[in-house]
Amino acid sequence: MLHNAGLTLSDGTTLDDLINRDMNEVSLRVMNDKELYELEMERVFARTWLLLGHESEIPKAGDYVMRDMAEDNVIVSRDRSGEIHVMLNVCPHRGMKVCTAEAGNAHAHRCIYHGWAFRADGSFIGAPIEKEQMHGSKRSKDELGLKKARVHLYGGLIFATWNKDLSFEDYLGDAKFYLDQLFCRTDNGLEMLGPPQRFVLPCNWKIPGEQSGSDGFHTLTLHRSLMEGGIMGGTAESIYDTAPGMYGVDLSVPQGHTLRCLEAAQTFKMFADVSFEGKSTEERLNLLPPPGITKDLIPQLFKNLSEDQVKQLANIPPQVGGMFPNILIAFIFAPRMDGGASGALSLHTYVPKGPDKVEFVNFIFAEKDAPEDVKRDMLQNAIWSTGTSGTIEQDDADTWPQIMRNSRGHMSKTITLKYQALHGHERPEGWVGGGDLYPGFTKDDTQWAWWMAYYNMMADA
């Protein structure tokens, strides 16, 4: 029996009771436990990098958006020098929200309660009636700024953390080789096509979280309508024989990030006749550009990525996956019946709002240099497939609350979730990128890797 005594709940339950590493099982109780939730806020969400948005949302000095780092409300703003800052939206005077709008432009944020004011970089300007020194005499102005998080931009994506030590490079680990192929591949990068869709689901954040650990298997059943709609290679009658989209190379890194790399020709009906036999990387890209890439953008791939990265993007691109703890990546082909641009680029964050609530935030992208009509089609594709009304994710959003409902039962919560269909790490011949690789039929390996990342963070007091 593996042993780690880093976490014991008040009733004596240990982390090893909840996550059985010998059996690859997780107690359903983890989805509905207030004590565990409080520890997650401290050990996971206050310690790791969290995705808040994209710099294209706040292009000008003073632009800001309001976002959440778990239950902490923050202002994401650009200062006069162009630098992006993330700070708690909590007035150090009386705890009021300093900023009350979701988006806007302000070089100073003045609290409506008593008027304490802060610059776009979070520093304290002063309180009204300067001569009366209403900020007091015990603390200097330097101490009265908004609490700042560390910020890192990756492919224009805005990440922030409260952790003083964790470098972004260590957070990404070997996932960088693959994620660069999605986020850092064109000269001007990604553009967010509008503010995120936001909606709240009655379930624990880990229910969508663990699915984002690259659960490929549920596609066949929960997303059966994809087969019925004729998009995937196969029909509703033949899905279990042909299992479209189930074969590829899944991968994980110890940080808990996971991806599913899929060959389009093996997955989607419309690409089934595309023959790549004997074709060069460039010819392959032109025959079938990866989701979101137009033919005009192909030369930029060679400029921004390594030869090995472009080769993978051409042959077997990463399409879905997640970044631990709460990011889903869906950079997918989205075949349209009307011949329009095929591709949808979405990122979600599943922001915890209590043990039994999660906010689903759906960010939708296109390459900034893509033509306007392509962006228009891709926005529509993403809305049709993902988020609020998306015909794929409607079914996820209805399933997760039912798992949550079961986690309340005295007996039900003793049931364990099974991650026992395991392939084991196996490096395909000629594969260049790092991480643990699971070629073939998609199994539970990546989701278990997600739980192991969770285990390690929760065990580390």
Partner 1 sequence: MVNYATAAIDKTSVMRGLVSTKRVPLGSEVYNRLLETLYDEAAALDERRFDDWVAYLEQDLIYTAPLRLTRNGPNKDRDVVRTMKHFDENYGSILMRTGRLAKSAWAEDPPSRTRRFVTNVRVAESETAGEYEVVSYLYVERSRMDNPENETISAERRDIWRLVDGAYKLARREIIVDQSTLGMSNFAIFL
Q: Restricting to residues 310-369, name those near partner 1 by CB under 8 A.
A: 337-338, 359, 364
> Phi/psi zone of residue 173: left (φ > 0), alpha (ψ -120 to 50 degrees), beta?
left
Cis peptide upstream of residue 325 (ω within 30 degrees of 0): yes
Q: Rule CB under 8 A: choose which of 236, 303, 426, 428 binds partner 1.
A: 236
Asked if residue 220 lies in contact with residue 240, where contact means CB atoms within 8 angstroms, the answer is yes
Q: Rule CB under 8 A: choose which of 95, 136, 194, 278 binds partner 1.
A: 194
Q: Restricting to residues 91-110, name those near partner 1 by CB under 8 A.
A: 100-105
* Phi, psi (deg, nearest 5) at residue 138: -90, -25
Structure tokens at 134: 């209403």
Asked if residue 444 lies in contact with residue 419, where contact means CB atoms within 8 angstroms, the answer is yes
Asked if residue 137 lies in contact with residue 129, where contact means CB atoms within 8 angstroms, the answer is no
Binding-site residue total for partner 1 (CB under 8 A)? 53
Among residues 191, 368, 166, 344, the alpha carbon closest in space to that of 268 is found at 344
Q: Rule CB under 8 A: choose which of 397, 415, 421, 459 binds partner 1.
A: 397
Q: Rule CB under 8 A: choose which of 191, 436, 444, 445 binds partner 1.
A: 191
User: What's the one-letter identity of residue 22?
Assistant: D
d(CA 134, CA 186): 50
Query: Which H or E element spans position 168?
Result: helix 168-172
Helix, strand, or coil (residue 106): coil
Give the single-character DSSP code of 2.
-
Q: Is 228 in the site for partner 1 (CB under 8 A)?
A: yes
Q: Is 238 in the site for partner 1 (CB under 8 A)?
A: no
Give the single-character DSSP code of 97.
-
Q: Is 117 in the site for partner 1 (CB under 8 A)?
A: no
Judged by beta carbon, residue 21 or residue 110, the one nearer partner 1 is 110
Q: Is 195 in the site for partner 1 (CB under 8 A)?
A: yes
Could you tell me which stretch among 192-200, 287-295, 420-428, 450-458 binds partner 1 (CB under 8 A)?
Answer: 192-200
Could you tell me which stretch among 128-136, 240-248, 382-390, 441-449 binds partner 1 (CB under 8 A)?
Answer: 382-390
Q: Is 188 in the site for partner 1 (CB under 8 A)?
A: no
Q: Is 193 in the site for partner 1 (CB under 8 A)?
A: yes
Among residues 188, 217, 211, 163, the alpha carbon closest in space to that of 451 is found at 211
Q: Is 222 in the site for partner 1 (CB under 8 A)?
A: yes
Burial group, residue 411, by CB count within 10 angstroms (0-12, 13-18, 19+): exposed
Judged by beta carbon, residue 256 or residue 355, the one nearer partner 1 is 355
Could you tell me which stretch among 29-37, 114-122, 219-227, 415-423 binds partner 1 (CB under 8 A)?
Answer: 219-227
**CB of 294 vs partner 1, minimal distance in Å:** 18
Q: Rule CB under 8 A: choose which of 167, 188, 238, 391 binds partner 1.
A: 391
Structure tokens at 170: 């260590």
Q: Rule CB under 8 A: choose which of 55, 393, 436, 445 binds partner 1.
A: 393
**CB of 335 vs partner 1, minimal distance in Å:** 12
d(CA 41, CA 47): 9
Q: Rule CB under 8 A: choose which of 37, 64, 205, 438 binds partner 1.
A: 64
Residue the block writes with tokens 């991650």: 419
Q: Is 173 in the site for partner 1 (CB under 8 A)?
A: no
Residues facing 362 on adjacent strands: 197, 348
Q: Over the Cα atoms of the chain, what is R_g?
A: 23
Could you tell me which stretch among 114-122, 158-166, 190-198, 273-281 binds partner 1 (CB under 8 A)?
Answer: 190-198
Using CB under 8 A as the criterion, which residues of the chain lie in contact with partner 1 when the complex forms? 56-60, 63-65, 100-105, 191-202, 222, 224-225, 228-229, 236, 337-338, 359, 364, 379-380, 383-384, 387-389, 391, 393-395, 397-399, 401-402, 405
